């Protein structure tokens, strides 16, 4: 599926599992008329096949120097392979490591010895319109570096991970001043733990149930989960996931939400356990005990494919600064939290041009 509107030129920072699923997905939907798996086959006239990758950055020597179509299948990536990708003609270039590789990732990442490229120059010369940040959780300096590079290169920014950039007033202002849109933070998977948990809490609150406590435990076997064994690095992930659920209730409740363990043989499968305890009519007790099993990276790509087209619509309309509805619909820690239904409605109103952001 491609439209007549032209391409959406995208650069990627961090060629890991999420990038792999996104690149595969663009070719999967471009080469067929398949619509299953897409929440929006069409966003403002743009189809998934309109996305074109023009630059990519990583630090692992198994990826740097390779065509993006090969790099996405290199170790330690371990998501599913659901689409063959032809040569793209984009070589993965070496970005600065900064704080991208934590204590546990050091054991599995093989550092490239190439010299760091000038990211701003690369973004400019590639013609990129949007840069997606897919760095590992806890890459605070790395994420700010890529956001700053996007600003200097005149490129819009999507922050798919939980360093708080799109939700920070300081960064919102910087993008607004440069006339560039920004969306984020921390992509909310298509059918993942966050959207399920927040929707359940909203339902219970709406139906007069007093929720007394809830937890959400997550396990997986990819580098994202390995990295999040480092407690200091996952503080932002915990806050991002918890804030999305917390915002669905008018009252405080004990919540414990976050990544819980790394189980290598799960590879890119992610398992989530949600527990909710509450009371309803006459104080009668209620509990929900739920297990969700998904492949993590296609789950994020199913949303980024909408976010990219939403940001492109903003670029076409000359809208700058934080994209409120795109972010609320596609991310866990947006500038403004909304229940899922409202976020989806506002996203679609924005796409139709019925709201400014």
Q: Which CB atom, from 79 or from 320, has the smaller least distance to ligand NAD?
A: 79
* Residues between 56 and 85 that touch ligand NAD (CB under 6 A): 57-60, 77
Residue nearest to ligand NAD (CB): 16
Q: Which CB atom, from 136 or from 334, has the smaller least distance to ligand NAD?
A: 136
Q: What is d(CA 52, CA 153) in angstroms, rounded to the nearest whole number?
A: 18
First to last CA, the chain: 26
If one counts every other C-beta atom within 10 angstroms of the C-beta of residue 36, the result is 6
Size of the site for ligand NAD (CB under 6 A): 36
Among 25, 44, 48, 100, binds ligand NAD (CB under 6 A): 100
Applying CB under 6 A, does 300 fall inside the site for ligand NAD? yes
Q: Residues 85, 77: contact at Cβ < 8 Å?
A: no
Applying CB under 6 A, does 323 fall inside the site for ligand NAD? no
Applying CB under 6 A, does 135 fall inside the site for ligand NAD? yes
**DSSP-derived 3-state class of residue 12:** strand
Q: How far is CA 191 from CA 15, 43, 219, 293, 295, in A?
A: 22, 19, 16, 10, 10
Q: Residues 63, 92: contact at Cβ < 8 Å?
A: yes
Q: Which CB atom, from 270 or from 309, has the smaller least distance to ligand NAD?
A: 270
11 half-sphere exposure, CB direction, 13 A CA radius:
31
Tell how strand 285-295 and strand 269-279 pair up. Answer: antiparallel
Q: Which CB atom, from 224 or from 306, has the smaller least distance to ligand NAD?
A: 224
- Of the candidates 135, 310, 294, which has an alpha carbon nearest to the alpha carbon of residue 224? 135
Applying CB under 6 A, does 186 fall inside the site for ligand NAD? yes
Applying CB under 6 A, does 334 fall inside the site for ligand NAD? no
x/- mask, ligand NAD, residues 277-296, rule CB under 6 A, reads -------------------x
Binding site for ligand NAD (CB under 6 A): 13-19, 57-60, 77, 95-98, 100-101, 109, 134-137, 142, 160-161, 186-187, 189, 222-224, 296-297, 299-300
């Amino acid at each position: 599926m491609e439209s007549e509107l032209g391409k959406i030129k995208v650069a990627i920072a961090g060629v890991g599992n999420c990038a792999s699923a996104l690149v595969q997905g663009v070719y999967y939907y471009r080469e067929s008329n398949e619509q299953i798996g897409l929440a929006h086959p069409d966003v403002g006239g743009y189809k998934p096949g309109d996305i074109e990758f023009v630059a990519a950055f990583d630090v692992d020597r198994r990826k740097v120097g390779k065509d993006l179509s090969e790099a996405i299948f290199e170790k330690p990536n371990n998501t599913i392979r659901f689409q063959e990708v032809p040569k793209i003609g984009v070589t993965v270039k070496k970005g600065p490591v900064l704080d991208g590789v934590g204590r546990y990732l050091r054991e599995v990442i093989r550092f490239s010895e190439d010299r760091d490229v000038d990211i701003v120059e690369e973004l400019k010369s590639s013609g990129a319109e949007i840069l997606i940040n897919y760095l590992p959780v806890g890459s605070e300096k790395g994420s700010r570096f890529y956001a700053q590079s996007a600003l200097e290169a005149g490129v819009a920014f999507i922050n798919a991970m939980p360093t708080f950039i799109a939700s920070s007033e300081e960064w919102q202002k910087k993008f607004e001043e440069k006339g560039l849109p920004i969306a984020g933070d921390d992509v909310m998977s298509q059918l993942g733990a966050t959207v399920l948990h927040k929707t359940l809490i909203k339902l219970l609150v709406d139906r007069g149930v007093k929720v007394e406590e809830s937890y959400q435990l997550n396990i997986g076997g990819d580098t994202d989960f390995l990295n999040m064994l480092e407690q200091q690095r996952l503080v932002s992930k915990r806050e991002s996931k918890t804030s999305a659920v917390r915002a669905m209730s008018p009252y405080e409740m004990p919540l414990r939400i976050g990544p819980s363990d790394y189980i290598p043989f799960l590879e890119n499968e992610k398992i989530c356990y949600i527990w909710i305890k509450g009371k309803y009519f006459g104080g009668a007790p209620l509990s929900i005990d739920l297990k969700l099993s998904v492949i993590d990276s296609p789950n994020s790509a199913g949303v980024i494919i909408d976010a990219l087209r939403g940001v492109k619509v903003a670029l076409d309309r000359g809208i700058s600064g934080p994209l409120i509805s795109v972010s609320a619909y596609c991310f866990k820690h947006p500038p403004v939290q909304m229940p899922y239904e409202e976020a989806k409605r506002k996203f679609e109103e924005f796409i139709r041009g019925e709201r400014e952001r």
